[in-house]
Amino acid sequence: MPSRESEPGSRGFIVPIGGAEDKISDRAILRRFVDLCGGPAARIAVLPTASVLADTGSRYVDVFRSVGAGFVCVIPTFTREDAESEASLEQISDCNGVFLTGGNQLRLSTILGGTALAQRIRKLNAHGVHVAGTSAGAAFSSEHMIAFGDSGSTPRAGKVSLAPGLGLINRIIVDQHFRQRDRIGRLLTALSYNPFTIGCGLDEDTAAFIGPDDTIEVVGSGGITIVDVSALEYSSMAEAGEGEPVELIGVRLHVLAAGSRFSLSSRKATPAPRKAPV
């Protein structure tokens, strides 16, 4: 479960990003995250845990500095020992923003899961620190994480495997690179296991800025597919054999673009404000 807020509305933003976010031209998502963290007063910790590339952390340091962040550091957490160290805990506690890079979400869950650093990130977020993650970092942000699964549009039994995530929020299941990798089927499969959660399929260069009021605002050049199974009337998951298609009746779906909003509490979508004619 998410850490308890010190008072209602005190939680920081949670920002899952669908991967391949613009780092060169407009950089709308990363710029918005830096602005949330205070711009010149921003103190952002980058965790490159999910990646096996040596320069992943330093590349994000350069990008965040280029869009106005006052201070950016890399916390090298590549082992569970790193994630338990006092140095890592002290370093992250001095920041008002945390960024989890892309890579392999199972590296995040196996290295950070259950550690003092993971607990510290959850508590910091509950007390106002903003936490963003791209690609694997986005998948890891929620309580229920898609570990891996097959592409395709049809939900099928055994199509997806779930693992515990960081648990910043328990109302959604995130899937990334969504339309680019045809992942609607695996998100539907994940939701069919238990219709408590809401599916959030993030296109590349698209982010869900989830505020302390549990409202999502879409930022970026792509779309977010919201799959709401709260009114699910029937699921054949319990009877379906391995690899067989799963019937789901009563699914509600929204496709939202930049400026649109979705309330995780009321489960209502709001379109982006109309642009004035040129």
Answer yes or no: 254 catalytic. no
| Given the residues 135, 141, 235, 260, the one annotated as active site | 135
Structure tokens, 140: 């890891």
| Given the residues 88, 130, 144, 177, the one annotated as active site | 177
User: Which of 266, 188, 170 has its CA nearest to residue 229?
Assistant: 188
Q: At CB < 8 A and 24+ separation, what contacts does 55-61 make?
A: 56/101, 56/102, 56/103, 57/101, 59/23, 60/99, 60/101
CA gap 134, 139 in Å, rounded: 8
Answer yes or no: 177 catalytic. yes
Q: For residue 88, report the phi and psi dihedrals to the nearest 5 degrees.
A: -65, -40
Q: Which residues pair with 255 in a beta bridge?
A: 225
CA gap 80, 179 in Å, rounded: 33
| Given the residues 204, 217, 235, 260, the one annotated as active site | 204
Residues with catalytic function: 135, 177, 204
